[in-house]
Amino acid sequence: RMVKMVTMMMVIVVIMIMEIIIILKIVTILMMMINEDDKQGEGGNDDGDN
């Protein structure tokens, strides 16, 4: 019985991690698209060097 509970917890944790990774990928893609739109017409250098 304990093994069943532990495996269920592991499956839930793995699904949560996969969902978080997918969300992060979508957010990074959106940020990249926004940055590309913003960089048009500029040098495109936002390294943080003042």
Instruction: Report the Cα 38 to chain-centroid distance in Å.
Output: 21
Asked whether residue 25 is domain-assigned, the answer is yes
Asked whether residue 1 is domain-assigned, the answer is yes
The Cα 25–Cα 47 span in angstroms is 22
pLDDT band at 35 (very low <50, low <70, confident <90, very high): confident
Residue ranges making up the domain that contains 25: 1-32
- CB under 8 Å to 46, separation ≥6 — which residues? 35, 39
Residue with tokens 């960089």: 39
Asked whether residue 47 is domain-assigned, the answer is no
> Rounded mean pLDDT of 14-34?
95
Asked whether residue 4 is domain-assigned, the answer is yes
pTM to 2 decimals? Answer: 0.53
Asked whether residue 10 is domain-assigned, the answer is yes
> Rounded mean pLDDT of 34-38?
76
Asked whether residue 39 is domain-assigned, the answer is no
Asked whether residue 17 is domain-assigned, the answer is yes
Name the more confident of 47 and 50.
47
Number of domains within the chain: 1
Q: Of the ranges 10-14, 23-27, 43-47, which one carries the lowest mean pLDDT score? A: 43-47
